[in-house]
Amino acid sequence: MSSSLGRLRLFILTLLAAVTAFTIIGSSFYQIDYCTVERVKSNHSVLLYTLVIIIVSGLLISFWRPVFPSGRNVKRPIEYKRSLFYIIYTYLWYGATYCICYAGKYILNDTMCHKDPNSISGHFLYHIFFALAIPYWFISVGRLYYKDNQLLSSSSPNTKPSSVVLRHEFKFLKNLILSGWMPILMISLYIIYLVLSYMNLEKTYVLGYHSPRQILYGVILCLLSFYSLLGLTATVNKRSDKGLNYLMLVLSVLWIIGPSLIYFVVKRRFPFGKLELTLAAIGYGYLLFVSSKGLDHIITKTIKPIQQIIQPKKAPHYNPISSSKKKKKID
């Protein structure tokens, strides 16, 4: 049976192809460059609520420890840094994607529904991206702990090799949901997020924030970005140091491309404030810390060689009695 993340990738690819085809057909045969009404100013309370839900969901998943029925008696080391790596990496990936979206607004120079270029809908990019990201976090972190549970169960001396079976996807998801009170809370928050997102996206269209074309462009960019994220994390071995370094390399390149488009191509002010940039820098530093083995790597590369210099190995003690016995045995 195919994995849940594999099905999610297939769903996003199918949706991306359908939206792209609809955009092409709509541009050729229908009028998709219009506003329902003259742009109406609206508050950002719903947007703020969804942001709070995203942050809380990320924290819950970071400290979530699913327990599977086959591994209740297996002691597992608690490593929060791996879950946090997933969450922060996704946040920074979205930030780089939004930089490309912001630059794309001015490159396409579509001023429909607003006096300034508003070519790509950032609202649809934001809401749909995290509507996909939250279940991606849930399944990815759960799958990591499931694999750890299977590996530790198979390495246990009381476990026979034949007792470790392949994962059944439906049972896997059921065990994730029923692994405690935290998944129920996360699912409840996710449903609230979907409702609030629908309310905000409806206002985006009805109140004249974007034309249908701009909305479709936002959806296409979102799906393309998230499909790339899924493909990248699926093909890279996240348990190896090389895999994490490769993920960091791609993220760094993406963050070079986005701001470069803003500063050197469209020549506009950066879309994030000081607080967002500070949090992004802290998150990026944490990812570098984890991908380079963190504190263990620093100790291995710096402190241990210094200790060897300060405390050199002592020469073996010479024992004349034992050496004479060895000579007699040889004779």
Residue 293 DSSP label: T
Cβ(282)–Cβ(84) below 8 Å = no
* pLDDT (0 to 100) of residue 165: 43
CA dihedral for 8, 253, 117, 122, sign (positive or negative): positive
Q: How far apart are the C-alpha atoms of 213 and 220, rounded to whole Å?
A: 11
In the chain, DSSP finds a helix count (H) and a strand count (E) of 12, 0
Q: Give exposure, 307-327, as e/b (b: 16+ Cβ within 10 Å).
A: eeeeeeeeeeeeeeeeeeeee
DSSP symbols for 151-174: HHHHHSTT--GGG--PPPHHHHHH
Sites in the chain below the pLDDT cut of 50: 1, 70-78, 156, 159-166, 294-312, 315
* Per-residue pLDDT tens over the stretch 134-145: 999 988 887 776
Q: How far apart are the C-alpha atoms of 220 and 218, rounded to whole Å?
A: 5
* pLDDT (0 to 100) of residue 76: 47
Cβ(97)–Cβ(257) below 8 Å = no
**What tokens were used for 183?**
């998944």
pTM: 0.80
* Per-residue pLDDT tens over the stretch 215-242: 999 999 999 999 999 988 877 655 566 7
* pLDDT (0 to 100) of residue 317: 52
* Per-residue pLDDT tens over the stretch 182-201: 889 999 999 999 999 999 99
Q: How far apart are the C-alpha atoms of 223 and 132, rounded to whole Å?
A: 9
CA 52 to chain centre: 17
- What share of the chain has pLDDT > 90, as a percent? 41
Q: CA separation (Å) from 290 to 259, 286, 323?
A: 25, 6, 51
